[in-house]
Structure 1
Amino acid sequence: MPTLVGWHVELEFTEEGNRTSAAALVRLGDGSEMRARGYAMRHPTDPEQLRVGEEIAGSRALMDLASQLLQKAHAEIDDASGRNSYPLTQ
């Protein structure tokens, strides 16, 4: 029977002028948490599209979280195996 595991991910956005920031948090099944931030800047001549700024800032924060998760996983592989592992993408 498969094991069901879940992670809780939160994203919060702040709009200030032409800058959007995203704060991301993931809570893992082992009780650890990781945090990341992402930013987006709107050119002053572009129309306001808050959703687009959120998507860009949010995706950047999530990419940072993905990188942190990959580093964590490889550190755990290295600790368990006693040798260096290498991610396929960095």
Structure 2
Amino acid sequence: MQQTKSWTVEIAIGEHDGRTRAVAHLRTKDSDTLVGVGFARLHPTDPDVPEIGDEIAVARALSDLSHRLLQAATGDLEQVIGEPAHLVM
């Protein structure tokens, strides 16, 4: 029988002085947590559209999180096989 697993990603977004910061928290079934962070800033000549800054910062936070998750998987795999592993995206 196939089992479905569920992991949760929670993203917090904050804005201050034309900069947006997003923090993505990944929680697995085992309560492990990985965190990715992303930033965006408003260019002086661009119109101020907060949703765009949110999208950029969140995309960067998720990208950072995905890289950290791949690093964690690489470390876990190396422990299992007893030799260096090179996982790529």
TM-score of the two chains, using structure 1 as the length reference: 0.92
What does residue range 29-48 of structure 1 map to in structure 2 within 5 Å? 29-48=29-48
User: 5+ residue gaps in structure 2?
Assistant: none
Post-superposition, which runs of at least 4 consecutive aligned residues in structure 1 deviate over 6 A?
none
Deviation string for 1:46-66 (max 9, x for gaps)? 111111100100011111110
What does residue range 7-86 of structure 1 map to in structure 2 within 5 Å? 7-86=7-86
Q: What residue is the counterpart of 2:88 in the other structure?
A: 88
User: 5+ residue gaps in structure 1?
Assistant: none
- Counting aligned pairs with the same residue, the percent is 36
TM-score of the two chains, using structure 2 as the length reference: 0.93
The amino acid across from 1:49 in the alignment is V
Give 3-state SS (helix, strand or coil) of 2:31's partner. coil
Counterpart CA distance in 2 for 1:88 and 1:65 is: 14
Counterpart CA distance in 2 for 1:23 and 1:16 is: 14
Q: Which moved more, 1:61-70 or 1:28-37?
A: 28-37
The amino acid across from 1:59 in the alignment is A
Counterpart CA distance in 1 for 2:74 and 2:38 is: 23
Counterpart CA distance in 2 for 1:63 and 1:24 is: 10
Counterpart CA distance in 1 for 2:49 and 2:88 is: 35
Deviation string for 1:13-34 (max 9, x for gaps)? 1111211110110101222101
Aligned residues: 89
> Following TM superposition, by how much is the alpha carbon of 1:3 offset from its aligned partner in structure 2, in angstroms?
1.0
